[in-house]
């Protein structure tokens, strides 16, 4: 598949990262995935700082954001991105274990584009990741300034 948007996966649990990447790989969606393992790294990526100082300036097509993160938590990352004029157009999808209504409400209040609860069942999990990947990295037209689909 050649028309693939870049996915920034923000996830602290390496096992979840691996499972997510495996699920994406299964549908050839993993080539353009960048992983940030905490909220600080995610913001560093967005602002081209720290380890991501040298990256090319385009934005990812979508952020897959966990809520429970070390250093800076997911809601904080979300609110910083959505309150930044340059970044607020980037689609952000919260991908979390939390069914808690207050987490969901807070996410939507901060302007999240989608809220997905990670299914426990592996098949359902793979399906959810696949559909997210296909939709955001392939079907959806990302806002201007994103990594061009080549």
Partner 1 sequence: MGTLARIRRYSLAVLSVAAALGASLWIKTAGMRSGEMPPFLFALALSAWFGGPGPAILALFLSCAVFDYFFIEPVHSFMMSRQEAPYLVVFASFAVLVTWFSNSRKRVEDDLREARERLELELAQRRRREEEIRSLNQELSKRSLALETSNKELEAFAYSVSHDLRAPLRHMSGFSELLQKNAAASLNDKGKRYLLMILESAKRMGNLIDDLLAFSRIGRAERRQTLVSLDQIVREAVTEVRTQAAGRDIAWTIGDLPSVYGDRSMLRLVLVNLVSNAVKFTRTRPNASVQIGCLEKRGDQAVVFVRDNGVGFDMRYIDKLFGVFQRLHGPEEFEGTGIGLATVQRIVHRHGGNVWAEGMVNEGATFYFSLAAVEGDGH
Q: Which long-range contacts (CB under 8 A, 24 or more apart) does 72-77 make?
A: 72/38, 72/39, 72/40, 72/42, 72/43, 73/39, 74/10, 74/39, 75/103, 75/106, 75/107, 75/110, 76/39, 77/10, 77/39, 77/42, 77/43
Considering only residues 46 to 105 of the shown chain, the ones binding partner 1 according to CB under 8 A are 97-100
Q: Which of 1, 3, 22, 143 is close enough to bind partner 1 by CB under 8 A?
A: 22
What is the total count of residues that contact partner 1 (CB under 8 A)? 16
Q: Which of 27, 47, 115, 125 is close enough to bind partner 1 by CB under 8 A?
A: 125
Fill in the per-residue mask, 94 to 123: x = in contact with partner 1 (CB under 8 A), - = not in contact: ---xxxx-----------------xxxxxx
Closer residue to partner 1, CB minimum distance, 33 or 81? 33
Closer residue to partner 1, CB minimum distance, 98 or 113? 98
Residue 53 Cβ vs partner 1, minimum distance, rounded to whole Å: 32
Q: Is 62 strand, coil or helix?
A: strand
Cβ-Cβ contacts under 8 Å for 66 (sequence gap 6 or more)? 10, 11, 12, 13, 16, 74, 94, 95, 96
Applying CB under 8 A, the residues found at the interface with partner 1 are: 13, 15-16, 19, 22, 97-100, 118-123, 125
């Amino acid at each position: 598949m050649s028309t693939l948007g870049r996915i920034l996966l923000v996830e602290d649990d390496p096992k979840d990262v691996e499972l997510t990447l495996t699920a994406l790989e299964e549908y050839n969606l993993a080539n353009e995935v960048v992983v940030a393992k905490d909220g600080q790294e995610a913001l560093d990526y967005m602002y081209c700082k720290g380890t991501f100082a040298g990256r090319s300036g385009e934005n990812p097509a979508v952020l897959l954001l966990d809520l429970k993160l070390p250093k800076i938590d997911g809601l904080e990352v979300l609110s910083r991105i959505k309150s930044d004029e340059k970044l607020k157009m980037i689609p952000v999808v919260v991908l979390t274990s939390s069914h808690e209504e207050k987490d969901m409400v807070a996410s939507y209040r901060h302007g999240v584009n989608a809220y997905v609860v990670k299914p426990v069942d592996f098949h359902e999990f793979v399906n959810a990741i696949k559909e997210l990947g296909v939709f955001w990295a392939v079907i959806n037209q990302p806002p201007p300034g994103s990594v061009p689909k080549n």
